[in-house]
Structure 1
């Protein structure tokens, strides 16, 4: 009889056969093949890395013709266990040529366990031992899901309280719909909607973490003054370059989301050769702009932008391969709640019937190693998330 053992159950399996406790780290390094894709490596370096990876017992894949150095730069796919990579890094440390040191730095960073966090301007810290759930509250008349629209202040405060009681770690306040084809509102109208809402929530829930969903620097500043803690910018600072100044001066964390164009025309911009790679590279570059201005990693969160300038298949690929965003050292947010891709997968059902699909995306975010999900239905998603987390821990505590 033969039993399969998954990675999460390895420690229990070792204990059940009476292995010495000190052997666990040794076997953990051998228990899982970890694929990595190194991008834009000089071709001689790619050939060297491939041979060294093969020599330590792992594997590597380079493009056809790489051995002749026909192209100056290539991508390389590495397949190895943690043990293979540790030995490979020791070998690469002795090779200061062809850009190998930078490849080694990138690889070592991806392999080094990181305890990610988000530090708010007031010093409070969001930690991610458990998935953080962001609740959506739209003070708009036209958001794509009618259930998220909360125009009345009293209802907004009451619904926010229910979300917090259900386990929301962040409340996200939006004053302009970003659904495909939507028209912009002017900045003055956006501020008229969101600033009083944020002030009311801050007064009612002093300890709550509040996010302002805006791409305008003026709105972000006004929202932070009113009590917001995090900026959620769907344009990753493209729409208003002054947004970077706001991040630097206020020390508020920012969520950088991938989008092409504007909500009005974004669905005409869905051409990609490799959507996962292009989105990941773009977000890493946008984050780097902030790093060069002295913004630390605990002030940056990445969001792949599901349904923003992507078709159904591209959205599904991004969710499947969400892990690609988790190697940069920043928390990752998945925001797929009740979106059109889920409707397409479920046979064309409207937004009101996409709860189960949303929960599935939240669970996938856990498997991918993301830190936060943005949802309309906090209680249902929190319950599903905490259940899966308990299963993977093998403990209800």
Structure 2
């Protein structure tokens, strides 16, 4: 009898087999093909890397015209285990040409990336040894999901307390709907909605971690003064030029989300050649704006922006390809809860009937190695996540 094994079961299988403990890591590094995509490298470099990967026992996919240098620059896809990549890095050390040094630096960074973490301005740390759940509290009259709307202050405080008891690690407070086609509200109105809520939550739950969902620096500043810990900017700091200054000065972490245009017109901006690659490149570029000013990765979180300037197919491609983001070394937040793509996939069901689809998306985030999900239903999602984590890694129980 011959059995096919899942990569996640190998550590346990090796243990039961009785191998020498020092051998386990060696075997695990040989057990999984890790596909990597290198973007926009010089064609001679692509040809050399192809040959070197083959010599190492791995492989490399290159465009058909690459051998004759039909294009000056190309993308390539590497196929290898960690052992193959270790050999490739040794070879690249001896090749100081065609941009190989930068390729080696990026390969080393992505292969040796530590588990990310987020450091709050007060020194507290969000650790991601297990996936965290962010609970949504919309202080708005027009959010797409009526079940997330809360208007009375005491009602918000009680809802927040329930989410915290259910296991929410972060509470996300928003005072303006950013659903497709929505209109902006005045900054004064947005602040009037969120600032009293944040103050009340910090008074009742002083240890809570609060995220302010805004693209306005003035609202974010007022929210931080009221006790907020994280800025969640759907425009990745492009909506307000002062936002980057605030992030630098406040030392508060920021969630950078991908979007094109504004919520009013974003669904008219859904043209992509490769949505996963383009979203990743955009978020890296926005992070670079901060890193040039001394902001570290521990202050930056990526959100691919499900439903923001993407159609159904593109949203599904992003969720499926989420590992392309989680491999970049930054914490990744998936915010797909009850969104219209789920409703469409499930046959046009309304937001009130999209819980199961949301849980499926949260489980995919676990498989992809994401650090957090933003959801309306904390308990249901967290239970599904913890069960899947226990199946994939029993030591997490």
TM-score normalised by structure 2 residue count: 0.99
- Conserved 8 A contact 2:121-2:252: yes
CA distance in 1, matches of 2:151, 2:299: 30
SS of the residue 1:232 aligns to: strand
CA distance in 2, matches of 1:241, 1:4: 54
CA distance in 2, matches of 1:329, 1:241: 26
- 2:376 aligned residue: 376
TM-superposed deviation, 1:69: 1.4
Unpaired stretches in structure 1, ≥5 consecutive residues: none
TM-superposed deviation, 1:284: 0.6
- 2:26 aligned residue: 26
Across the two proteins, how many residue pairs are aligned to each other? 397
- 1:3 aligned residue: 3
SS of the residue 2:134 aligns to: strand
TM-superposed deviation, 1:18: 2.1
- 2:279 aligned residue: 279
CA distance in 1, matches of 2:393, 2:319: 23
- 1:335 aligned residue: 335
CA distance in 1, matches of 2:284, 2:171: 25
CA distance in 2, matches of 1:123, 1:27: 38
Please give the per-residue CA displacement for 1:312-358, whole angstroms capped at 9, x wherever unaligned: 00000000000011222110000000000000110000000000000
SS of the residue 2:236 aligns to: coil
SS of the residue 1:75 aligns to: strand
CA distance in 2, matches of 1:251, 1:11: 40
Please give the per-residue CA displacement for 1:55-100, whole angstroms capped at 9, x wherever unaligned: 0000001111111112111001000001000000000011010001
Please give the per-residue CA displacement for 1:17-65, whole angstroms capped at 9, x wherever unaligned: 2211111011011100000000010111111111100000000011111
- 2:390 aligned residue: 390
- 1:170 aligned residue: 170
- 2:108 aligned residue: 108
CA distance in 1, matches of 2:11, 2:259: 42
SS of the residue 2:232 aligns to: strand
- 2:227 aligned residue: 227
What aligned pairs does 1:38-57 form with structure 2 within 5 A after superposition? 38-57=38-57
- 1:292 aligned residue: 292
RMSD of aligned alpha carbons: 0.8
1:91 equivalent to 2:91? Answer: yes
CA distance in 2, matches of 1:22, 1:316: 41
What aligned pairs does 1:114-193 form with structure 2 within 5 A after superposition? 114-193=114-193
Unpaired stretches in structure 2, ≥5 consecutive residues: none
- Conserved 8 A contact 2:38-2:75: yes
